[in-house]
């Protein structure tokens, strides 16, 4: 695993890309302001046409994607039919909050670019999205088998013909085995953990790595 300081990501941006719209966290937010700034920066580096998000939750990140890009956004989350007994206590709480609260993007002017998908990501049919996504965020289920499945599906969905990026959340979260899994994955592909955040990312198809390693 490559561990880099946040400024390494910010320095990938040109002056014209340094303006971003980032909402302040609130009570149920699960990302910090630094994490939001890192994610917005990676988004601007790639300038994606299409985005796939594992884990909608309250739609905070979905809205940020819409406000900082012109991409078509697909966001997948568990629906009301999910068997919540399969989730741990933290995930059950988050599912309950996401089902009873209005999504933050529902009234946004960018709503027409956001497609909500529902289902268990380990059983979902990703065939329609194969090699069609420029930017993918994996922040859904946090158990090892779910993260592994989501990662394998992300590799199938990532585009092959232009710069692209996959991002994972919850690296170094002591409650899950994501850290162990991503450390093992980093032996096979270049992965970058942004220090002071729980984000790990990989660039694909010529997206610049030189500025990260210098």
Query: Residue 151's domain is classified under what CATH number?
Result: 3.40.50.150
**Segment 145-155 mean pLDDT:** 95
pLDDT band for 141, please (50, 70, 90 cuts).
confident
**Segment 139-168 mean pLDDT:** 94
- Which of 17-21, 27-31, 79-83 shows the lowest per-residue confidence on average (mean pLDDT)? 79-83
Residue 23 lies in a domain: no
> For residues 108 and 59, is the Cβ–Cβ distance under 8 A?
no
> For residues 200 and 4, is the Cβ–Cβ distance under 8 A?
no
Backbone φ, ψ for residue 11 (5° rounding): -75, -10
How many domains in the chain? 1
Q: Residues of the chain with pLDDT > 90: what percent?
A: 64
Residue 91 lies in a domain: yes
- Alpha-carbon distance of 67 to 71, in angstroms, equals 10
How far, CA to CA in Å, does 170 sit from each of 127, 147, 198?
26, 11, 5
pLDDT band for 209, please (50, 70, 90 cuts).
confident
Backbone φ, ψ for residue 127 (5° rounding): -55, -40
> For residues 45 and 20, is the Cβ–Cβ distance under 8 A?
no
Summary mean pLDDT of the chain: 87
Q: Who has greater pLDDT, 82 or 170?
A: 170
In this prediction the pTM is: 0.89
């Amino acid at each position: 695993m490559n561990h880099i300081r946040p400024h390494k990501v910010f320095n990938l941006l040109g002056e014209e890309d340094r303006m971003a719209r980032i909402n302040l966290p609130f009570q149920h937010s699960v990302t910090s302001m630094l994490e939001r700034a890192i994610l917005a920066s990676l988004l601007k580096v790639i300038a994606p046409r299409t985005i796939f998000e594992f884990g909608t939750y309250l739609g905070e990140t979905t809205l940020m994607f819409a406000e900082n890009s012109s991409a078509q956004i697909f966001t997948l989350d568990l629906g009301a039919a999910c068997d919540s007994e399969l989730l741990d206590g933290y995930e059950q709480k988050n599912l309950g909050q996401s089902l009873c609260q209005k999504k933050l993007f529902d009234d946004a002017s960018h709503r027409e670019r956001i497609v909500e998908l529902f289902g268990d990501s380990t059983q979902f049919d990703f065939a329609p999205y194969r090699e069609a996504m420029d930017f993918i965020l994996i922040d859904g289920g946090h158990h090892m088998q779910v993260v592994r499945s989501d990662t394998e599906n992300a590799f199938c969905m990532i585009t092959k013909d232009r710069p692209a990026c996959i991002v994972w959340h919850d690296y170094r979260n002591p409650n899950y085995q994501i850290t162990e899994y991503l450390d093992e994955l980093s032996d096979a592909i270049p992965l970058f953990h942004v220090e002071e955040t729980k984000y790990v990312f990989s660039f694909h198809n010529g997206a610049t790595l030189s500025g990260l390693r210098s």
